[in-house]
Structure 1
């Protein structure tokens, strides 16, 4: 796995429609109707450079395009693929909405000797992606990531939600969550990430990674938050 691909993607020009999430380059294009969103999906599906892990999701008034479903699978060639997709979208009158781009991930933390990804793959009907995570083969559900807890920590297990969004959306999402009754647990990595909790103490990480921070920062901030 290498960071070169997604870093090159972030540095490239003419990719204003795209956001790099935990799952790689993603864009949302809006259309007036389900039929028109489906027509756009059909046109994009004709592009020869798409690969098997490309995911096209049509909803009522939008099309979400994920190029790889994983950040580490991002390659420099995806830059031109993304530009071609944006070109086709413009030809169809579609408008990119970077504020709508997001990915939700369930992070299940346990001691190294007690991580049980096989169970979660089986119970959810998910497929392996890497040795520490799995994905919904239908492209509908959240990804699952097994996070190893530091053996020296008193906490034995934990579970939280990661919400991966673009850097321009993260703070607005945090403010909306706080206005809805949430509280900030940890803002030491802001504006790259915030750890929030609901009134019962259930935690969620809003992360603008890698759009707005380094990977090591996100991993450290999320792990530390579990013991707060």
Structure 2
């Protein structure tokens, strides 16, 4: 069994230029002109993946594109899927890659995690993280806070984007009326807010190695 690798090690490998690390996964988006094109790429990806790799392979198929997600350790499979896409004349678009998490600030995660697990019907990944077993909805995370904040929102979105797209995404959000709350943890994450103070984080893999 291949040992897990860091995001930096993945990106330093050859032949993975189409792929971007988002937390523990790597993803690539391929633009298509029809559902038939996407199905052809999905079929090819399934045939390329070993039985073990298929357990970590996730595919989102739409008329306009296919998003493929893998474990970071599956470097060779990433190369092969990119090669298959090129052979099918399906271009990669790294700017379309992202991952959305809903994050709730809590004092004691053990007290609230069972409620959210039952309410969402999600699977427990860790004592602070839940995931949709059907991969339909965003993941749900708990983030510890030191003291209650009754006058501040306690739930926010985490938007994981490719490391080379973060500044453009932040600039677009600021131009759309948002403001920067904190960049103390950048480039791991930036905290932004809308005009009414509702917060969201833009996150990258950098600093998570």
Q: Same fold (TM over 0.5)?
A: yes
Is 1:59 aligned with 2:52?
no
Q: CA separation in 2, counterparts of 1:22 and 1:173?
A: 17
SS of the residue corresponding to residue 138 of structure 1 reads coil
Corresponding position of 1:80: 76
What is the deviation of 1:125?
1.6
In 1, Cα distance between the equivalents of 2:106 and 2:84?
44
CA distance change for structure 1 residues 141 and 174 in 2, over 3 Å: closer, same or farther? same
Q: Give, in angstroms, the shift of residue 79 of structure 1.
A: 1.0
Q: Please tell me the root mean square deviation across aligned C-alpha atoms, in Å.
A: 2.1
Structure-2 separation of matches of 1:165 and 1:115: 31
TM-score for the superposition, normalised by structure 2: 0.88
Aligned residues: 203
SS in 2 for 1:109: strand
* Residue 155 of structure 1, aligned match among 136, 145, 149: 149
Tell me, yes or no, if structure 1 residue 93 matches structure 2 residue 89.
yes
In structure 1, list runs of 5 or more residues that go unmatched.
69-73, 217-228
Offset at residue 88 of structure 1 (A): 1.1
Name the CA distance, whole Å, in 2 between partners of 1:137 and 1:155.
31
Written as runs of structure 1 = structure 2, the 5 A alignment for 1:178-217 is 178-208=174-204, 210=205, 213-215=206-208
- C-alpha contact 2:109 2:128 (8 A) present in aligned 1: no
Residue 47 of structure 1 is matched in structure 2 by 48
Quick check: 78-87 or 128-137, which moved more? 128-137
